[in-house]
Each structure stands twice: as structure tokens, then as C-alpha cells.
Amino acid sequence: MPSINELYGWLLDIYPDPVEGVILWFLDEDGIQRHRLHQPFPTSFYVHGPSSNLRSLWRYLKSLPEPLQLSRAEKQDLFVEKPLSVLKIMTETPPAQERLFNQLKRSFPGLVYYNADISVDLRYAAQTGVFPLARCRVLATDEGEIKTLETLDSPWAIDSPQVPLLVMALSPDSNPDHREPISLKVHLQGRHYTFPFRDERGLLIKLQALLRRYDPDLLLTVWGDNWLIDKLHQLMEKHHITLSLNREKGLGVERREERFYHSYGGVIYRGPQARLFGRIHISTENTVMYHDYGLEGVYEMARVTSLRIQTAARVSPGTGISSMQILTALRQDLLVPWHKQQVEWSKSAYNLLQSDRGGLVFQPTVGLHANVAEIDFISMYPSIMEHFNISPETVGKSSKNSTFVPELELNIDQDQRGLVPDTLQPLLEKRIRLKQELAGMDPRDARWHPFQARSSAHKWLLVTCFGYLGYKNARFGRIEAHEAVTAYGREALLQAKEAAEELGFRVLHMYVDGLWVQKEGASQIADFQPLLEEILDRTGLPISLDGIYRWIAFLSSRPDPRVPVANRYFGLFKNGTWKVRGIEVRRDDTSKWVKKVQREMLDLLAKAPDAGQLVDQLPRIHALLQTRLSALRQRKIPLEELLISQKISRSLEEFKVPSPAAKAAAQLAAIDKNLIPGQRVRFLYTRGKPGVFAWDLEERPDPKIVDIDRYAELLCRAAYTILQPLGVEERTLRWWMFTNAGYGAPPGFLPDSCSQETPLLGDYSWTMHHLDPVFFSAH
């Protein structure tokens, strides 16, 4: 009898094996040793259909040489009242199941398949409760076969310890899309190495030596998915040197093709993928939201979704949420449909008119406002799903305690807990607990950063789970559930507005799940507390005070100043932090230089002790603009800071009148650097035709061709965004910026040097200046 070893450690990776079933890699508790263990993992799926078809399937399966276990079972499909009679097919290993299903779906397309396309990480998680980076106790034989696995962690614990993963960072010195890299930078255990690509053999040998010596758990690359891993492979083949990229011997790199798709009106590009076995590969430019939450956020995505770390890093939050729902279904022994089958119920045209709508987006009261509180429903849509038990199988079902959705003719069953709320509940609770912890935490606390990252990861999952509910291919989606959520959302926002107005607040703006309110004399947290409690009381949904602004400016539309824009504002919180939306500094297509100057303008405004004294900063802003413009004219701005980066919205042939981005992309296409829609192109504005210079051409541009006037104009627009709420008119600003005039006078004074035609500040700003410190716009 083989002896049994006990191991305490963290789960690193899990993947299927055609012989051994499933392979699991663990890092042991001391953080030193890695263990490759395996376990037989018979895998089942289910088929439903007319009994004659099932019988012929049975006969077919019996004729196959593979060892299969066939049986009849009664299983629950979430969307069917009574349990279904299904054929259960069990294969010896997960790969055998995948192969068989691919064969059956072609040979027997008319049957309904369940649990057929579920990845092994989710299947294993459903059976054992384990998840990536979970601390486990494992009993295994000397041969490495797992006999018992016990999970000692919960993905919902907020204070899970940092797992001491050994990370090896690999970054080429330039973006290969733009320029062939010259060297590879390696960072590991606090040491830095640089290997030139020129010395191909040397690079391979040194890299292999590092891999052998340190055996890193995670390769953190830049452009690894779309370039580096392939490049290393080419070099390996050329020089017959093997790099141990995988820990699993004999396996290659798992590749997925690049693709692009349309989502919410934009084109999303997903690069190709290169995944490893036993070692984790994360390619930062291809990791969704990496810039937002970093590695810690990736780990958190893996913990809460139970997807392999490498998968969790690369999937969209929609797939993350879907995986969590599949896991809930598997644990409740519910069938997981391969295809979504259920369709929208037929409804009257009148009902369609009522239900096919989104959240309420109001137009703010344009202008500058002091002492404004921003109040947000915490994760509004997920909270609604959780609170009102909204799930595809609970909507439209009347029971003893069903509730009636406002505006819609729709019941929601409250007797049975829905799959979607059941999945969301722990995630919501964890997020709220993290937020509470963070609210009272010093940012220097070591837990602050990981808590932030985890909270960001949850935010993305929660934001997506609502859209996913209405997604056409969502297995556990239903359009009526989606519509019920928005209906409750509108109701909650209007209830909040009514509560605010009844308590004497003025509502300046409302946006789907948040409202901005103001009241004479209210400027401290305690002043807004009764309102929060009232809203919680009326709606039952968690709500929080996002902050109190010292002042906030809501902006109007650029083409038509009469029209307010919902999501274009900037405000300074009392604690000195900014919240800025929709203006140049937040936009991806603004040059660094313009962003920098706009940021400097905001910094100057932040110096004003209150809204009434903002105008006193105008002379300094005027001087700043003059200095920056003169630096631009003297060509002292590095070209990198003038780069504009824009997404290509469609393929080049589709442009009738090419945009500057399209012209730049065409320049690149001429030297065989082809960009596809969704990718970004970087360029400079230049004088004459064609007006742009693509930055990633082989040659460097002559700095003299830069179109200075164009950049001055861009700066003028960015400056106007900031100054407009202070009452500065565009023509005044132009006069300040482009006529070389001194500031000389407060707004509204007529300097001696200018004639009547000279643009001046409007009267409006003058009266504003003499009003009390609290500014109200004309309403």
C-alpha cells in the first residue's frame, strides 16, 4: 500500500490531462516547494430529447470503443417546472468528455445538451470547493495522486493572506507593434537583467538558466501574448534550445486567436493569447482592467470566479460573472444549458414601450455650485437583483409572496431564492465590507492597496452582471429580468429625489444611481445623514455619501452651450481630491501636454479656499497659459508629449472622409504595419498635407513640421472647459491667449489698450463675481 503524504499549500494552477484526469499545482506553505499532483476526474454531461432520439444516441454510444458509463437521471433545468429525464454520459477524463461532446453536437444536433462545455477548473471547484490561491490540506500518495483535498479558505474572506508567488517580469524595450524590440528586460527577486535580442543563443541560455534556477510561478510579460512568447518559440526552434516555459513537461503553449467584436457601440479588440501549464503567464497589455487593479485584482478575479488565474486574467467580466453563475448551478445540482433556449415572452406593444428602457440620466443644472453632496446607491443594479430576488427563473412567476415590478406588468417570485441573487450576495457583501474597511483605513496601511484592487475587481464583475442578465447568449439571462432591474432602478432614483426634496434639498443632478444635492447651511457629513437614512428606509437599497464637494462645475455641451451634458463635470471634494468626468484630462485622445496644462489649471483652482475665491486664481491661470504657450511656440515641448492616440473605429476602406487617425493608420499601412479596428494609432498634427504624422513610422519627424497652431487651439479648448464655469467667455480667453495681452484687470474691466471690438468677458461673469460666495447658475 502506498504511503500517504500530507501537504498544506496554495492552489496555483489546474488543467485537464488525457490520462491522469486533472493536474493540480500547489505551492507549499513555506513558499519554497511546488508540487505537481493529479487526480482521476471522471466527467459527466447530460442529454435531453425525445425518447426515440435518446435511444438511438444510446445505441450509438454503446457502439463506440471508448469506456463510457451511461445511465438515466432526473435533473432540474432551471427554466422548466418539473425535473427532466436525461441521459447521463460519463467519460473517464475531461478531455474525453470534450472530444465526445464535439462529436455528438455534430452527429445529433437536434438534442439538448447540458453541462457540456464547462471548463475543468469550474467542474473541480464545484466538486471540492477549491479555488485558485485557496489554502488547502491535501493527502496524496507518493506517486502524487490526490486522495483527499480540503479547502481551508473561503473566497469571501476579506483578509486572505498574500500568497508568496515568485514572479519573473519580462518586458521587451519597445512595443513590437510599433518597433522591433532590441533587448529584453528581466526582473526577478529584486535583480534586473537586460538581454539583447541580437545575441539569440545567449538570450535563450541565460533565460533558461534563470528559469531553471528560480522556477518562477508567474511570468509577468508585456506583449507576451501577441509577440514575446512566439518570438521565444521561434528562437528555440532556430537554435534547438528548449526554454522551460511550462512546468508541465511535454506540453506546448496553449494559443487562442485574436478577435474583435462590437460592444456597446464600440469596437473591442482582444489580442491573441498564450497560456502555459503549471506556470502562470500573464500578459499585462492583454489583461482586462490590468491598469485598474493590477496583479492583486487578477488574483481576486480568480478567487471569486474559481477560474484558472490565466483564464481569469484574460476573460471579460461578463464571462467571469457567467462562470460564477455556472458554479452556483453546479453546486445546486442544476443543469447548465449549453445554449440559451428560452426566449422573450410575447408582450403587448404598449408594454414593450414601457419596458425597453435604461436608467434615468438627467441633465444637470449647469454652472458652479458650492457645498454639494454626491450620494450613490452602492452597486445599484446588483443590489436591486439581490434585494428584489431578480433572476431569470423568478421573473414572471407569481407565487404567494410575489412582488410586482413598478411600471411593468411583471411578477417576481419571492418564495424561491433566485440563482442570480444567490450568486451575487456574497460578492456584494464582500465589496461592502471592503469599502467599509477602506473608509476607515490609512492609505499607508499595507492592506490598503490590495483592498482597493479587490474592490475594483468586484466592481467590474458587479457592473457587468446587470448587462449580462440581458445578454442574448447568457445561459442564465432573461430580458424581462434585465428590464425589471432598470424599472426598479428608475423607481429608486425617483424615490431618492422625492426624499431629498421633502427634506429641503435641491437636486442639482441625477445619473442612473447617483444624485447631487445641496441645501442652504448643509456642508458636513452629519447634515446629509438624515437624507441617507430616509432613502435607505424608502428604497431598501444600500446608499452611501460619496463625498461633499467644496465646489463642483457641471458643464454644458461644447457645440451648444444651452444644452447641459450629464457626464461632463469637475469638482473638488472637501478632502482635496478631485472628481473629474468627460473633460480633456480624462480623455484617452488628449495629448499629454494638454492634459498636463489642464491639470495645472485645476491645481491652481484647488488653492482657492472656497468657490467664491476661485476668480482670484484667474491672473495665475492667465500667466500659466502664457508660459505654456510660449514654450510650445519655442518648440520646447518634447514631441512625445504632443502625441495624440486614437482608436481606429473601422477599417480604412470604410472611411469616406478619413479622420486624422485614419490618415495616420494609412501611413502605417503603407509600410505594412496594419492596424485593425479597435487598435490605437499614435500621431502628431503637422502643418500642410496630410496634416498628421504617424508616430510609429520608421523615421522620426522633423520637429519643425509640428502644427503649433493646432496644439494651441487644443489647449484653448481645454482651458475653456475649466474657465467657462467661472464666467470667462471663450472670446475673452482667446484674447488672453492669442493677442499677447496681459491679464491686467479683473474680468469685466475694459483695458485701455483694447477697442470696443476686442473680445471681453461677458457681463455675466462680472455679476457672478459680486454675488455671494455660493454660485448658482441661471435657472
Partner 1 sequence: MGRTVASITQTFLKERAAFARFRRALRSSDQQVLDDLFASAQKHLAAASYASHALPFETFLLAMLLEEHKEVVRLRQEITELRHALHQ
Partner 2 sequence: MELITLPHTPSLQLLIAPSDFQRKASLQFIAELAQTGPVRVLDGGNRFDVLALNRELRRRELLLYTALEHIQVARAFTCYQMTTLLEEPAPQGIPTLVLNLLATFQDENASLPERLRLLGICLHSLIKNARHAPVLVVLHPQSDEEPFLVRIRENADRVWVFESLYPATQLTLL
> Which CB atom, from 162 or from 341, has the smaller least distance to partner 2?
341
The least distance separating partner 1 from the CB of residue 356, rounded to whole angstroms, comes to 4
- Using CB under 8 A, pick the residue from 78, 140, 479, 737 that binds partner 1: 479
What is the C-alpha separation between 661 and 340, in angstroms, rounded? 39
Interface with partner 1 by CB under 8 A: which range of 131-139, 351-359, 520-528, 587-595? 351-359
Q: Does 69 bind partner 2 (CB under 8 A)?
A: no
Q: Does 63 bind partner 2 (CB under 8 A)?
A: no
C-alpha neighbours within 13 Å on the C-beta side of residue 135: 14
- Using CB under 8 A, pick the residue from 64, 563, 631, 671 that binds partner 1: 563
The least distance separating partner 2 from the CB of residue 350, rounded to whole angstroms, comes to 4
What is the C-alpha separation between 392 and 481, in angstroms, rounded? 6
User: Cell 520608421 maps to which residue?
Assistant: 698
- Using CB under 8 A, pick the residue from 339, 586, 587, 635 that binds partner 2: 339
Question: DSSP character for 657?
Answer: S
Instruction: For residue 135, list its beta bridge partners.
Output: 10
Residue 563 binds which entry of partner 1, partner 2, none, CB below 5-8 Å type-dependent = partner 1
What is the C-alpha separation between 251 and 279, in angstroms, rounded? 12
Residue 3 binds which entry of partner 1, partner 2, none, CB below 5-8 Å type-dependent = none
> Which CB atom, from 102 or from 234, has the smaller least distance to partner 2?
102
Chain Cα centroid distance, residue 428: 17
- Using CB under 8 A, pick the residue from 112, 494, 676, 741 that binds partner 1: 494
Please answer whether residues 173 and 186 qualify as being in contact, where contact means their C-beta atoms are separated by less than 8 angstroms: no
Q: Cell digits for 719? A: 482651458
> Which CB atom, from 435 or from 490, has the smaller least distance to partner 1?
490
> Which CB atom, from 337 or from 748, has the smaller least distance to partner 2?
337
- Using CB under 8 A, pick the residue from 4, 70, 353, 745 that binds partner 2: 353
The least distance separating partner 1 from the CB of residue 535, rounded to whole angstroms, comes to 18
- Using CB under 8 A, pick the residue from 34, 347, 369, 622 that binds partner 2: 347
Q: Does 352 bind partner 1 (CB under 8 A)?
A: yes
Helix (H) or strand (E) holding 572: strand 564-573
Interface with partner 2 by CB under 8 A: which range of 229-237, 316-324, 472-480, 591-599? 472-480
Helix (H) or strand (E) holding 598: helix 592-606
- Using CB under 8 A, pick the residue from 40, 358, 744, 773 that binds partner 1: 358
Q: What is the 3-state secondary structure (H, E, C) of 481-503?
A: HHHHHHHHHHHHHHHHHHHHHHC
> Which CB atom, from 100 or from 218, has the smaller least distance to partner 2?
100
Q: Footprint of partner 2 on residues 104-143 (CB under 8 A)?
A: 109-110
Q: Where are the alpha helices (DSSP H) in 190-248?
A: 200-214, 229-239
Residue 152 binds which entry of partner 2, partner 1, none, CB below 5-8 Å type-dependent = none
Q: Cell digits for 231? A: 518570438
- Using CB under 8 A, pick the residue from 362, 448, 720, 738 that binds partner 1: 362
Please answer whether residues 187 and 51 qualify as being in contact, where contact means their C-beta atoms are separated by less than 8 angstroms: no
Residue 344 binds which entry of partner 2, partner 1, none, CB below 5-8 Å type-dependent = partner 2
- Using CB under 8 A, pick the residue from 67, 150, 345, 613 that binds partner 2: 345
What is the C-alpha separation between 379 and 359, in angstroms, rounded? 13
Residues in the chain: 779
Kindly determine how many residues on this chain lie close enough to bind partner 2 according to the rule CB under 8 A. Answer: 19
Helix 730-738 crosses helix 708-723 at what angle (to 10 degrees)? 140
- Using CB under 8 A, pick the residue from 458, 475, 482, 628 that binds partner 1: 482
Q: Does 506 bind partner 1 (CB under 8 A)?
A: no
Q: Does 340 bind partner 2 (CB under 8 A)?
A: yes
> Which CB atom, from 468 or from 551, has the smaller least distance to partner 1?
468
Please answer whether residues 278 and 17 qualify as being in contact, where contact means their C-beta atoms are separated by less than 8 angstroms: no
What is the C-alpha separation between 703 and 706, in angstroms, rounded? 6
Residue 346 binds which entry of partner 2, partner 1, none, CB below 5-8 Å type-dependent = partner 2
> Which CB atom, from 400 or from 562, has the smaller least distance to partner 1?
562
Q: Does 264 bind partner 2 (CB under 8 A)?
A: no
Residue 109 binds which entry of partner 2, partner 1, none, CB below 5-8 Å type-dependent = partner 2
Q: Does 262 bind partner 2 (CB under 8 A)?
A: no
The radius of gyration computed from the CA coordinates of the chain, to the nearest angstrom, equals 30
Q: Please, what sign has the CA dihedral across residues 258, 262, 264, 267?
A: positive
Q: Footprint of partner 2 on residues 151-180 (CB under 8 A)?
A: none
Helix 618-633 crosses helix 708-723 at what angle (to 10 degrees)? 170
- Using CB under 8 A, pick the residue from 152, 361, 525, 745 that binds partner 1: 361
Please give the angle made by the CA atoms of 252, 257 and 262, to the nearest 5 degrees: 155
The pairing of beta strand 135-141 with beta strand 112-114: unpaired
> Which CB atom, from 508 or from 715, has the smaller least distance to partner 1?
508
Q: Cell digits for 535? A: 432613502
Residues ≥6 apart with Cβ < 8 Å to 761? 727, 728, 729, 732, 747, 748
Residue 547 binds which entry of partner 2, partner 1, none, CB below 5-8 Å type-dependent = none
Instruction: For residue 11, list its beta bridge partners.
Output: 26
Q: Cell digits for 190? A: 529584486
Interface with partner 1 by CB under 8 A: which range of 47-55, 85-93, 300-308, 345-353? 345-353
- Using CB under 8 A, pick the residue from 1, 19, 32, 349 that binds partner 2: 349
Q: Cell digits for 372? A: 454639494
Could you tell me the CA-to-CA distances from 143 to 3, 25, 39, 146, 151 in Å, in that order? 9, 14, 11, 9, 21
> Which CB atom, from 374 or from 483, has the smaller least distance to partner 1?
483
Kindly list the residues in this chain that would bind partner 1 in the complex (CB under 8 A): 350, 352-354, 356-358, 360-363, 470-472, 479, 482, 490, 494, 510, 560, 562-564
Kindly list the residues in this chain that would bind partner 2 in the complex (CB under 8 A): 109-110, 339-350, 352-353, 472-473, 479
